[in-house]
Amino acid sequence: MSEPVSDRAIVGVFGPWAWSEKYTYTPGARAGKLVFLSGTTGTDENNQIVGPGDIVAQTRQIYRKFEQILRSVGASCEDIIQTTDHIVTTENYKGTAAVRREFIRNPATTATGVIVAGLLREGALIEISAVAVIPETPR
């Protein structure tokens, strides 16, 4: 569990991953009770795309990664209040909604979907960023 953070301090949130000087970002940043999750693609521990050509499998992997990051600060995907999806295809995009409901059961969570020409990660069909609120009682 992380140390308490003042409302003005911004600290990196890494989940199970170690931070490296080569990075110019963190998987998440915490400011008070808010956690901002960086745009994330569906990669495994070897940095390889999970489910090549399968937007649903990639979405599930992204939410699994979010869950790990959020658990490190006493939250979970249940605490996500906003998501932004960047997608390169609409094929099977409706299937990502079912995955979202597996991890986020609050229908009040806001969402934005944006179609883009491409993503930086080769083979990625979707990249998701999110904002969560850390609950008063850790999960």
By C-alpha distance, which of 49, 50, 54 is closest to 121?
A: 49
Nearest alpha-carbon partner for 18 in 5, 9, 27: 27
pTM of the model as a whole = 0.88
Indicate the pLDDT class of residue 19, thresholds 50, 70 and 90: low
Please, which residues bridge with residue 110 across strands? 82
Would the pLDDT of 7 be above 70?
A: no
Domains of the chain: 10-133 (3.30.1330.40)
**pLDDT of 87-112, one tens digit each?**
999 999 999 999 999 999 988 899 99
